[in-house]
Structure 1
Amino acid sequence: MSAPIPGKVIQVCARCGTRWQVQQSPAQWCPRCRGVLSAPMAAASAPAQQRRAYRWVARRPDAGRPSAPAATTIPRNRRYGSTPQWGLVDPPPPPPKMDDADLAGLGRHVVNIFTLTAILFFLAAVAEVGRYAILLRNRTRLIDPLLLAASDTAVLATSILALMVTTLAVFAAAGWLIGARRRAFERDGRRDPRPVEQIVMGCIIPGANLIFPGVFLTEITRDALPRTRRLVVVWWCAWAFGAVVALVALVWRFRTSLQAEADGVLLNAFADLVAVGVAIVTILVIRELDGQDVLGRRRAVKRWLVATGPATHVIAPVRPAVRPEPIGGAGSDDAQQEVMAK
């Protein structure tokens, strides 16, 4: 094909760039390579290479719908033919989830609850020791029935109250753990990757609560001080040991011999004392992660500055004073002593 004559109308192939002169009507496909031809244009203004000439037109979604008759249209107010699917949609209420508001409120009193737990377990241990003393006394003498009833009541009451408060303490610890993890991740500019339900279930399900609470605490103490990490490990070991002792004391109750029952009293007292120790260590961990000391006071933050210059003495060192020599030298002292002798 010869070069197009200036002033003529041509079409340019988008694939091979060949220019084709429009003869009668514009074509759509290139005769050489079957590429798409551009819109007709003047030959003088056509570039060397022409890309596809598409024209994008934005239309409303209802542009293709037939318009309503003039008699039924409302000139001032426009109405939708159907419920719009964009915006102003009231989503259905989310499924009920475990709200951590109550747990967070309970977690604020976690130290007081664990303190009460330690006191009740200590009283339970005292009651068990008193019962064992009564058993020893009963070997040689009869015991007053009122004293036996008082001892049984004390053991039963302290045991039931300790178990009830322990259940409350577990939920309080879960609430405190949720808040502690949230604050720890917010300091790093992140969100807690574990949902609230997982944290709560990991703390209250028997068996799983021997593993997951330690994992949850370890995740927020990876960058903490070595003292804090050691305290978490100590608490984890104490918590597992306390669970094992409680399980052994529970299984021991199935033994029916007199000596086994007497030994079970001492075992229950030991389990109560272990529970006291676990409660105390738990309080120490909570206060350590909350930035408090053993007594619950806010711990002062130490700020260390790097020394960039040489060490200088703030106070000049003390040097011994030089004794002044006499005016006449060493001989004047001898002369003065001779005068005083005469």
Structure 2
Amino acid sequence: MTCPRCGREQPPGSTGRFCVHCGRVLGGVRWVATTPDATRPRSPVTRRRPYAGPPRYQGVPRWSLWPWAARPEPGSPDGPLAAREAPEPEAALRATAELLRRLAVTTALLCGVAAAGEVFRYVLLLLSRDRALSGVVLGWSDAIVGIFGWLAPVAALATGVVFLRWVLQGRDLAAAASGTRPWRSTRLLLVGSVLPPFTLTVPGATLAEIEHAASGFAPSARPRPSAPVLAWWASWVVGVVLGLVTVAQGFADSTQALADGVVLHFWCDVAGVLVAWTTIRVVAHLTELLAPVLRESGRSYVVAG
């Protein structure tokens, strides 16, 4: 091949694109511009599907679109693929308080309906002394008492489990805030909360200690429970005592014992409503002390019933 600039022939075996003498591009060489993905195999063209509506998710999506000015780098710790951090103790306490509030409201409603069913049954007992009752009316009475007589204890049990979880979280936060450690171990607290007669004193004393530590009082001072704590403690003691008396009375099988059982079940349901209401109050009060949430105006608020 002869160079178009210097006219010299290229040495035999030369396969370069440039002249070995003057460096000019040899004739017959054509430059072709290609895109970076031109060498990749092209995927087959797929037919576009019709619009099927907005996307659907199994749960609430946790992703969101970052503002462009505040968008982090892909490799930064705050990037979209960064690992989710564990929630703060205060946020976990507020979440448990919200769940506890909903369960307590449900328990109060179920206990209220169960109490109404017991009143209906007692009225039927009074009417049955001198007249025959309709089978349909008796069936409705048995259905109300039976269904809500089981649903209310189940809801109360779930509320109690979440309440103990909240107490453990609040106790740890109060101990961290006051620089102390809880006097009772976790096992002692759980056993004392469900085993009579310790259940009459351990839960209320624990709430009083949580309030004392969260309020910033001296650890050596004696706790003085506030009105919400005392109200919950009193309603809890009344509910436990009524529950034990009702269980003991259930072993009797006389006609008068059956009538007395209806009255005791009514008062147990009323006590369940009272305990659920005071639980909402005391949890809101102590959550405000342990984990206050600030509004934009600077005032604090917590989950309230």
TM-score (norm 1): 0.51
Per the alignment, residue 263 of structure 2 pairs with: 266
User: Which one-letter code corresponds to 1:186 in the other structure?
Assistant: A
Q: How many angstroms apart in 1 are the aligned matches of 2:125 and 2:172?
A: 52
User: Which one-letter code corresponds to 2:122 in the other structure?
Assistant: Y
Per the alignment, residue 132 of structure 1 pairs with: 122
Asked if the contact 1:124–1:155 (Cα under 8 Å) also holds between the matched residues in 2, the reply is yes
Of residues 278, 281, 301, the one that matches 1:281 is 278
**1:38-95 residue CA offsets vs partner (Å, 9 max, x unmatched):** xxxxxxxxxxxxxxxxxxxxxxxxxxxxxxxxxxxxxxxxxxxxxxxxxxxxxxxxxx
Per the alignment, residue 163 of structure 2 pairs with: 173
Asked if the contact 1:107–1:174 (Cα under 8 Å) also holds between the matched residues in 2, the reply is no
1:185 is displaced (CA, Å) by 2.2
1:168 is displaced (CA, Å) by 1.0
Per the alignment, residue 205 of structure 2 pairs with: 215
Of residues 191, 196, 209, the one that matches 1:201 is 191
1:248 is displaced (CA, Å) by 1.4
**1:102-122 residue CA offsets vs partner (Å, 9 max, x unmatched):** x97766511111111111111
User: Which one-letter code corresponds to 2:147 in the other structure?
Assistant: A
Q: How many angstroms apart in 1 are the aligned matches of 2:110 and 2:252?
A: 26
Asked if the contact 1:107–1:175 (Cα under 8 Å) also holds between the matched residues in 2, the reply is no
Look up the SS of the partner of 1:254 in the other structure.
coil
Per the alignment, residue 95 of structure 1 pairs with: none
Matches within 5 A, 1:112-261: 112-190=102-180, 192=182, 194-222=184-212, 224=215, 229-261=226-258
The count of residues paired between Structure 1 and Structure 2 equals: 197
Asked if the contact 2:104–2:276 (Cα under 8 Å) also holds between the matched residues in 1, the reply is yes
Q: How many angstroms apart in 2 are the aligned matches of 1:250 and 1:193?
A: 33
Q: How many angstroms apart in 2 are the aligned matches of 1:134 and 1:276?
A: 24
TM-score (norm 2): 0.57
**1:217-257 residue CA offsets vs partner (Å, 9 max, x unmatched):** 12222254999623212321221111111111222222322
User: Which one-letter code corresponds to 2:99 in the other structure?
Assistant: H
Asked if the contact 1:170–1:204 (Cα under 8 Å) also holds between the matched residues in 2, the reply is no
Q: Which has the larger radius of gyration?
A: 1
Distance 1:230 1:107, change over 3 A: closer
1:152 is displaced (CA, Å) by 0.9
Q: How many angstroms apart in 2 are the aligned matches of 1:108 and 1:178?
A: 15
Q: How many angstroms apart in 2 are the aligned matches of 1:106 and 1:220?
A: 16
Distance 1:237 1:286, change over 3 A: same
Matches within 5 A, 1:53-92: none
As a proportion of its length, which structure holds more helix? Answer: 2
Q: Once the two structures are aligned, what percentage of the paired residues are identical?
A: 31
Q: How many angstroms apart in 2 are the aligned matches of 1:214 and 1:201?
A: 14
User: Which one-letter code corresponds to 1:169 in the other structure?
Assistant: T
Look up the SS of the partner of 1:255 in the other structure.
coil
1:198 is displaced (CA, Å) by 3.6
Matches within 5 A, 1:260-339: 260-291=257-288, 300=299
User: Which one-letter code corresponds to 1:201 in the other structure?
Assistant: V
**Structure 2 unaligned blocks of 5 or more:** 1-88, 218-222, 301-305
Q: How many angstroms apart in 2 are the aligned matches of 1:185 and 1:215?
A: 15
1:206 is displaced (CA, Å) by 4.4
Q: How many angstroms apart in 2 are the aligned matches of 1:276 and 1:181?
A: 25
